[in-house]
Structure 1
Amino acid sequence: MTNYKKVLLQSCAVLALSSVAMSAGAWAEDAAPTQKKQAVADKTIDEIVVTGTSRARANLATPMSVSQMGEAKIARLSASSQADILRTIPAIKAEGGGGEVAANVFIKGLPSGGQYSFTPLEYDGIPVFSTFGLNSSAFDVYYKNDLGIERLEFVRGGVSNLFGAGSVAGIINYISKTGTDTPEGTMQLEWAEGGRFRGDFAASGPLGGQNSNTYYAISGYYRYDEGPLKTGLPTEGFQLRGNIKHDFADGSGSVTLYGQWVDDSVQFFLPFPLDGTTRARPTGNDGNTIMTLQTDAASGLSYQTPNGVYRTPISNGVLTRGGSFSAVLDKHMDNGWGLNAKMKYARYSHEFNLFLDGDGVVNLPETQAGFLAARGYDGYASASFTDATSGQALGSNDLLFANRLLDRNRPATDFTAEVNLTKDVSTDNFNHSFTLGGFFARAKADDQDVLTTYLGQFQSRPDMVNVVVTDNQGNDLTVSQNGLLNAGAGYGNSSNKATRYAGYLADQFENDRWVFDVGVRVEKMIGDIAKEGSSTYLANSDPSLAHDLQYVAYGNGAYTRGRVETTEWAVSVGALYRMSDNLSLYANGARGYFFPQIRSVSFNEFGQPASYKGEIISQAEVGLKYRDDRFAATVDGFWAKLSNRRNVDFVNDGQGGVTEQVFVQSTRTFGLEGTASYNITSALQVSGNVTLQNHKFTKFEGNDAYIGNEMRRQPKVMANAGLYYDDGTLDGSFYATYVGDNYANDSNTVKLNAYTIARLDAGYTFHVTGTQTARIGLSIFNLFNSEGITEGSPRQGSGQANAGDYFVGRPILPRRVFVRMTYKF
């Protein structure tokens, strides 16, 4: 990592933040380049929708919900994770309390444990990873945003969601910059309180001189961060991305090669015990407010296993090393024919190491006497509790917190390929664009999990605690050694593969007044599963050690293997009527599917996999779109029904381990959604959006009492509002995201109160020379330092208590100030 850091730090000596005017609504964002070899200049023309369509169309002429965001807004919204960007988009609830990766993304009306269960994450129309649920890693661990992003599109409804990886719930697609005849570049330096430094760069231009028809674009970052919550385990790493695009000399299309390499280690923050009454961060043994209980003191834990000494890799956090290569061909042929082909291969070594939110037995802070009683040591003559580092005895009133490390080794590979044949046909009444295509994906992901329990003090960045008890005969028994409380508390190992074959046919046709989308998709999924069994082994026969320090759970080499497969179909229709040049009425409906997560498949007593069938989603939407020179707005009503959802939860087994629970659920949702944007002056704009939804379970396997309950972590109200100013020299923005009340669990016994996250951003841009500019900017995340809770304790499931001295929950990240310096050339 050191050599890479030197190279990137030298490359990123001067940095910049884009000085393009920031728009706050879905109507005033950047558009795609309008012609070959022309630099992007016009930043205010109507959006061009390209995600999954064979014909680029303006938003006002698209019979689906579309949200777009240009590079300037993406750059200024970015603070830590994808959640900072996605939470501003209508229909999306995005939680970023875990830090830079594994953002929990919820789509209106759909039950989810978060992450990207229903929404493929794409870059340049190609999925980051083709299949969700081979393990539980989120797609954003593989790809990170940088200054090479031109815009973001979130498209839901309509035939666009039938193409590629497919999802009628929506597709999140980031579109990269490509080069033009005009060389340009951006460099940016970022500093934030709490020990954060980040350097970004992006550059593009022609290859081989002017009029070469070949262009390059490259971007990347290096980042070191000791916060936003101090654990002693920093976040550190880099990514490089680039593309080479060749435009055919006859103007008939292009071929583009994309590459990416990432080597990044990110710390991931989990829930921890908060004050049970206020749900604010509690006070620790040292008298200071506890910001997090995660600690570098746990990074040295090790113990003997049947396979040698195991040392926890917790200091790596969420580590991803590897890259991807992809190629895209876009060719327009004679007589209205066209060909579009995409392929991608990705290979990553990946770990997702995390601190859990308790030991799976008590899960809360304990007195020293309570610790002994809960573990059967209260009958001993005496006990000593000492700091594992200093050797000093703990104070008699010092509290303890037992927690677990869950180390996950998850290497993954993925191959995807897609081919579309398009045909434009004109009749007396309509212009048609037919698309016939196919999609293939082959993905493999391993998941080896090792669970370790440790004992620490109850304070920020806690030290480990040693415990020795003495019986009436004077014999000592070590209960916690160097903080290690339960060596090898749990073990799991699986290897899952998914093979997907899909074919689709669609027609997008329109005339002066009407626009129609009609399409159908058929797909087959094949899943191959291999799960290793585990056994308990005597790894250390020292009689002075407690049982949990002598015995470990580890793999026994016996595998259960199986194959599941199913075929599903989707159909989507959409219609739009242009009531005037400024107003459109649209409607769309779809019958679609999601394939159950392969990791959710269980085996019966005969070693045969359980039944496997698609999760069916039906949805409909009707709305209005309006736009004139100063005002733009949308309003729509929606309905969604999801049947036979196989929901997967990681829950405590009551003995200190973690097990997967799978419940089949069905849900129903309806609601209203609206967006509005008004240009008060050419430099001042106000905008916002709101989503109102009524949702409930209509089926809950194993517990009929939950039928009629609200879906967990889905609020009934979500809203965004902002005021934005940019005159080309001075710019400033204030915007806020509101998340309404919601429940932490399916039983609806634990309520999470509404919260608001406010952001402030301001900057000064000055001319340097020629077309070169520089900007100095200040950004404040969570301006009012709100302490909203995004989730309770998922590991406790519906059994989590709603009252008591402590409440286990994950707060939103605290206020943080960023300073950015930018140079554009």
Structure 2
Amino acid sequence: MLRSAVFMLGVAPLALIANAAHAQTSDIAAPSQDESIQDDSVQNDEIIVVGTAGGGTRRQDAAFAVTTLSEEAIDRAAPNSTADILRTVPGVMAESSGGQNGANIFVRGYPSGGDAQFVTFQYAGVPVFPPSTLSFLENSQLIRLDETVERIEAVRGGTGSLFSNGQPGLTVNVVPRTGGSRLEAFGKVSYTDFGEIRGDGWVSGPLSEDTGFMVGGYYAQGNGIRDPQFRAEQGGQITANIHHDFGNRGSVEIYARYLNDKGQWLLPIPVISTGGEISAYPGFDAGIGTLAGRETQLTTNIVGRTVDLAEGRGADVINTGISFDYEVVDGLRVRERLSYLGGNANTIGLVPVAAPGSAAAMAVTLGGAGSAVSSLAYANGGGTVTGGANAQVMRAGIWEVRKKISSFVSDSALEWTSGSNKLTGGFYFANYTSFDAWTLGNQVLLTAEPNARLLNMTLNGGRIATLRGFTGGPAFQVRAHYEGTDYAFYAVDEFQITPELRIDGGARWQRHVVDATLRTPLAGGNVDLDGNPATLYDNSVTVLGGPRQIEYSDSAWSWTAGINYDFSSSVGIFARYSRGNSFPQFDNLREASAVNIADKTGLAATAEVETFEGGLKVSTPFVSLYATAFHNKFDGLATTSLINNVPTSSNGGAKATGVELEGIVRPFDGFSVTASGTYLDATYRDFFTANGTIDNTGNRVQRQPRWTWRVTPAYELDLGAVKPALFATLQYTGDRFSDPENLQVLPNFYQLDAGVSVEIADRFTLAVTGNNLTDEIGLTEGNPRIIGGQGSGAILARPILGRSFRFSAAVKF
């Protein structure tokens, strides 16, 4: 706070000088060319916060690509996870096939290997956790959508690199419900055809004339649509806030959220690939099958560590914060937004290694050339395995990743408005930590079937390949304490030159500092635990090396400039240039060499992103259309992937050109058709994988299709006390490549969702929603833990979830 105040006193005179010199800085303003019209009316007066200096702006005045999703739009999308709602945002490829957690989210051709490297989630305008992605942790894992959410705002590119944590990709703001002058309450119970039960509710109302409260949340439990034969999905969230208005001067809001929820980490399963066509692996339902089962739920590995897969992937965190906005004197406002998050975000999963094959082939894999199966039996009773050496088997690792995390964020700003000019200066500070304990590898031998059973194998020569089903021990381990600190100064200005023409611009300087103490496997330090070469399962177990330090710092400038022109109240255009940065985070620095950290190359590089974008908006009571064209250039990108349990680097550049379209047609009362689509041409430039050995220049950026689109017709009837509604969504996802080498093809697919709801007496609502009604086998991931193709026949891939239905009953009073 003191640092912020000192900055404000210093920056105000400089900002006024800059204003006098006609510096064009941007708080964000100008009609959005890429807004999502999710409601049945054009809400020109709706205020958005994301992508602004903090005071918010009208959607119609936002000079950047922004999508807003109302409470009704969220309900109709019936998302399976927080990340799943982003399927409705143009320019975003969201893969939620990993379950409630572990999403992969890609934006506008920004290259990354997975997770959500260029996506930041905010709650009430403040980043939930400043690093957008750490290994085994992306932002959507730390927040859940429930009935306490009023709406969602999502800005792509544009001004994102100027505000918040400086995210140049996608920034998603979850806006909470707050209490008003009337006491209200809501409750909902839902049940799925795969056995999940969930309860949602909230209550809100006044505490005094100018003060309101809201408290609510949810609790859910079930085994999940991919049933592992144990309680895999369980937990809930509770949210509370108090909001006070200072008349016309401003407001203050205090909030707290507690999330304790976990779910099965869904990973690739066996499927059959034949000439580009995908079908189910024999005996394995692609929509509901999972490798995990009773036998793999609780295991004790060869070093005596017991792991429970029921812990899954999730978060046990508390997030508290305050938002303060006050007009000190006419034209001068002060803003402060604070947030604290702390808790645990763990990942426990059964990670497959390779597609199924014969036990005979597995014997060679485990024992080397000339090895043969001597015996193959179930590890937990049941005798020998039918088929012997010809039985289909596979391996999977039991991975355990534990993270204890914390973050503190402060965003302070002064805003000065004079006539048609608004100038803002601000200071951003974030401190965040992660205590990591990883144990990867721990591979087990399994039957190639759903809810797979553990196997024991012995080889010729009396060699023992397994212990309690384990073929190996820990293969990659990490023990680390990371601390990151970011601080940034930003200044933005917007100037309404004429009623039709506005210009804006801004700049941000950010400093990124990381300190860490960590231990990773000792090079060449693998040991044979029992000294017996005939017990193959423990002949090569990793040993942690001594502690080493990381001290890293770098700084960079970001800036943006935009122009907006309104031809009329319903037609406008805009153009914008922005330059942003993405600093290397903990995992990149862990794998970078000391030389790279010193000269800031490779994994230690700060990525630079340039974006050129422009668009058109047409907004009438009957038709709304928003179109944005963009071109991105990337340099210094860096990611790490685990290939055969070894961190492997990818780094270089890329370019992307695309068009985003969205709109709505309302031909007559009650009926609407909402549509959106994205064309994307994204390719690598001087981009190398496999630690710099494979040049992928010219290849398409992985996991992002050239074409995606979705169409949602909806029809509502008003029959007095009864108001039925029908809605459906058809979504198309084009061909993609799972890998940057473009050797693992993910074929195009369609997904059909639909639902019906009936509102009774403006108080009761009954609804049924169906997901993936055609039970499509749509792949979102191949095998990310190998380099190269998988060939034809049995492969590993992660399909979307199979057909499911949710039934709900709600009451509001």
Length-normalised TM-score, structure 1: 0.88
Q: C-alpha offsets along residues 222-276 of structure 1, whole Å, 9 cap, x if unaligned? A: 111212111124111111111111222x431111111011111211111122113
Residue type of the alignment partner of 1:101: N
Residue type of the alignment partner of 1:275: I
Q: Tell me how far 1:764 sits from its aligned partner.
A: 1.1
In the alignment, which of 399, 409, 429 is matched to residue 402 of structure 2? 409
2:800 aligned partner: 812
For the pair 1:591 / 2:579, whether they are aligned, the reply is yes
1:656-667 maps to which residues of 2 (within 5 A)? Answer: 658-667=645-654
Kept in 2, the 8 Å contact 1:289–1:460? The answer is no
Q: C-alpha offsets along residues 385-432 of structure 1, whole Å, 9 cap, x if unaligned? A: 112233321101431111111110111111111101001111xxxx11
1:21 aligned partner: none
Kept in 2, the 8 Å contact 1:61–1:578? The answer is no
SS at match of 2:472: strand
CA distance in 2, matches of 1:399, 1:152: 47
Q: Tell me how far 1:58 sits from its aligned partner.
A: 2.8
Q: Tell me how far 1:372 sits from its aligned partner.
A: 1.7
Kept in 1, the 8 Å contact 2:214–2:241? The answer is yes
Residue type of the alignment partner of 2:454: M
Q: Tell me how far 1:135 sits from its aligned partner.
A: 3.5
For the pair 1:96 / 2:86, whether they are aligned, the reply is no
Kept in 1, the 8 Å contact 2:686–2:695? The answer is no
1:364 aligned partner: 355
Q: C-alpha offsets along residues 342-361 of structure 1, whole Å, 9 cap, x if unaligned? A: 11111112211122121xxx
1:670 aligned partner: 657
- The verdict on how the C-alpha distance between 1:782 and 1:541 changes in structure 2, with shifts beyond 3 A counting, is same
1:595-610 maps to which residues of 2 (within 5 A)? Answer: 595-601=583-589, 602-604=591-593
1:247 aligned partner: 245
Q: Tell me how far 1:624 sits from its aligned partner.
A: 0.8
2:782 aligned partner: 792
CA distance in 1, matches of 2:251, 2:585: 36
Which ranges in structure 1 are unaligned for 5 or more consecutive residues?
Answer: 1-24, 32-41, 653-657
1:508-657 maps to which residues of 2 (within 5 A)? Answer: 508-510=494-496, 511-535=498-522, 541=530, 546-549=535-538, 552-556=541-545, 558-601=546-589, 602-604=591-593, 611=600, 612-652=604-644
SS at match of 2:335: strand
1:196-345 maps to which residues of 2 (within 5 A)? Answer: 196-208=196-208, 211=209, 213-233=210-230, 234-248=232-246, 250-277=247-274, 278-284=277-283, 291-303=289-301, 305=303, 309-345=304-340
Q: Tell me how far 1:46 sits from its aligned partner.
A: 4.4
Residue type of the alignment partner of 1:264: D
SS at match of 2:773: coil
In the alignment, which of 715, 721, 733 is matched to residue 727 of structure 2? 733
Kept in 1, the 8 Å contact 2:466–2:536? The answer is no
In the alignment, which of 332, 342, 346 is matched to residue 341 of structure 2? 346
Residue type of the alignment partner of 2:362: F
2:52 aligned partner: 53
Residue type of the alignment partner of 1:692: Y
CA distance in 1, matches of 2:350, 2:520: 24
1:494 aligned partner: 480
- The verdict on how the C-alpha distance between 1:101 and 1:78 changes in structure 2, with shifts beyond 3 A counting, is farther
Q: Tell me how far 1:378 sits from its aligned partner.
A: 7.7
Q: Tell me how far 1:540 sits from its aligned partner.
A: 5.6
CA distance in 1, matches of 2:554, 2:238: 38
SS at match of 2:362: helix
CA distance in 1, matches of 2:134, 2:453: 36
667-676 or 532-541: bigger deviation:
532-541
SS at match of 2:279: coil
1:712 aligned partner: 702
Q: C-alpha offsets along residues 613-667 of structure 1, whole Å, 9 cap, x if unaligned? A: 4211111111111111111101222111011111222212xxxxx1222222211
1:22 aligned partner: none
CA distance in 2, matches of 1:795, 1:259: 38
For the pair 1:432 / 2:421, whether they are aligned, the reply is yes
Taking only aligned residues, the RMSD between alpha carbons, in angstroms, comes to 2.4
SS at match of 1:263: strand
Q: C-alpha offsets along residues 101-130 of structure 1, whole Å, 9 cap, x if unaligned? A: 122111112112233211211111111101
CA distance in 1, matches of 2:566, 2:280: 53
CA distance in 2, matches of 1:588, 1:578: 15
Kept in 2, the 8 Å contact 1:560–1:607? The answer is no
Which ranges in structure 2 are unaligned for 5 or more consecutive residues?
Answer: 1-33
Kept in 2, the 8 Å contact 1:637–1:672? The answer is yes
- The verdict on how the C-alpha distance between 1:661 and 1:639 changes in structure 2, with shifts beyond 3 A counting, is same
CA distance in 2, matches of 1:693, 1:550: 48
CA distance in 1, matches of 2:489, 2:663: 38
Kept in 1, the 8 Å contact 2:467–2:537? The answer is no
CA distance in 2, matches of 1:380, 1:120: 50
- The verdict on how the C-alpha distance between 1:311 and 1:726 changes in structure 2, with shifts beyond 3 A counting, is same
2:367 aligned partner: 376
Kept in 2, the 8 Å contact 1:331–1:339? The answer is yes
Kept in 2, the 8 Å contact 1:88–1:737? The answer is no
Q: Tell me how far 1:179 sits from its aligned partner.
A: 0.5
1:782 aligned partner: 772
Q: Tell me how far 1:543 sits from its aligned partner.
A: 5.2
Residue type of the alignment partner of 1:356: V
2:469 aligned partner: 483
Kept in 1, the 8 Å contact 2:577–2:613? The answer is yes
543-552 or 250-259: bigger deviation:
543-552
1:9 aligned partner: none
Residue type of the alignment partner of 2:225: P
Kept in 2, the 8 Å contact 1:115–1:138? The answer is yes
Residue type of the alignment partner of 1:506: V
Kept in 2, the 8 Å contact 1:134–1:444? The answer is no
- The verdict on how the C-alpha distance between 1:444 and 1:763 changes in structure 2, with shifts beyond 3 A counting, is same
Residue type of the alignment partner of 1:300: L
Residue type of the alignment partner of 2:758: Y
741-750 or 289-298: bigger deviation:
289-298
For the pair 1:692 / 2:679, whether they are aligned, the reply is yes
1:760 aligned partner: 754
Length-normalised TM-score, structure 2: 0.89
1:460 aligned partner: 450
- The verdict on how the C-alpha distance between 1:395 and 1:178 changes in structure 2, with shifts beyond 3 A counting, is same
- The verdict on how the C-alpha distance between 1:742 and 1:252 changes in structure 2, with shifts beyond 3 A counting, is same
Q: Tell me how far 1:813 sits from its aligned partner.
A: 0.9
SS at match of 1:737: strand
Q: Tell me how far 1:780 sits from its aligned partner.
A: 0.3
Kept in 2, the 8 Å contact 1:752–1:790? The answer is yes
Q: Tell me how far 1:745 sits from its aligned partner.
A: 1.3
Kept in 2, the 8 Å contact 1:290–1:460? The answer is no
Query: How many residue pairs end up in the alignment?
Result: 759
SS at match of 1:332: strand
Q: Tell me how far 1:589 sits from its aligned partner.
A: 0.9
Kept in 2, the 8 Å contact 1:603–1:610? The answer is no
1:449 aligned partner: 438
Residue type of the alignment partner of 1:391: G
